[in-house]
Structure 1
Amino acid sequence: MPNAWAYLALAVATEVAGLTAMKLSTESGGYAGHLVMYAAIALSYVFLARAVKTMSVGVAYAIWEGSGIALITLVSVLVFGHVLTLREMIGLAMAVAGILCVNAGEIHDDGAEAEAGDGRN
């Protein structure tokens, strides 16, 4: 399972890199940024696919998508000077809370599956 988390972290990082390259390429007008964007996002899906081999797809996708949104928003604020509105901050907080709930539910489900597998009910 530790490899799944490493792959998931790489999936998030490459997604953020790809989206950052997309924003940079729109500002510069060059096509090299588009190539970097496509390559990074494709690589992100490869890493995500590796993560879901041993991890629940629901948990992996929730973490990948939610973390990606939070991190790209952070990049947007720190690198591109975007100012977050209160509504955006509340939305991000809700996304993080949702990720935590999905992840907590997965831990609970694993325990229930382990008990069922032991033959004890």
Structure 2
Amino acid sequence: MGYGLLAAAIAAEVAGTTAMKYSEGFTRLWPSLITVVGYLLAFSLLAQTLKTLSMGTAYAIWAGTGTAAVAFIGMLFMGESGSLLKLAGIVLVIAGVVVLNLGGAH
């Protein structure tokens, strides 16, 4: 259950961050509302996750996976550069998340 909530928290954070790009500095209503709702949902779900997973591991997975996902979205859909160095950084973030999971998140 904890990992399911964590996955939902990550999805909400990624949706909120992506919408923020389209909010144009919070001057557009709908993207701004999606950003706020996404972050409220993300933090609420993360708080629920912390009932069953350790804080350091849950937060590291949430932040790392969200960062990697947003970077991929930027490269795939928003025309951001996808240099070899940037891709290597994303791979390192994902590797860190895997290592944290192997170390035990309970």
Q: Does TM, normalized by the shorter one, top 0.5?
A: yes
Give ranges in structure 1 of 5+ residues lacking alignment: 111-121
Query: Secondary structure, in 3 states, of the residue corresponding to 2:104?
Result: helix
User: Which aligned pairs between 1:75-94 and structure 2 lie closer than 5 A?
Assistant: 75-94=73-92
* Structure holding more helix per residue: 1
Matched, 1:58 2:38: no
Larger radius of gyration: 1
Partner of 1:98: 96
Return the offset for 1:35.
2.1
Structure 2 match to 1:33: 31
Distance 1:28 1:40, change over 3 A: closer
Counterparts in 2 of 1:21 and 1:87: CA distance versus 1, 3 Å:
same
Superposition RMSD in Å? 1.9
Distance 1:50 1:29, change over 3 A: same
Unpaired runs of 5+ residues, structure 2, are: none
By how many angstroms is 1:32 displaced? 2.7
TM-score, normalisation: structure 1: 0.79
Regions of 4+ moved over 4 Å = none
Instruction: Give the alignment's TM-score, normalised by structure 2.
Output: 0.89
Identity of aligned residues (%): 35
Counterpart for residue 70 of structure 2 = 72
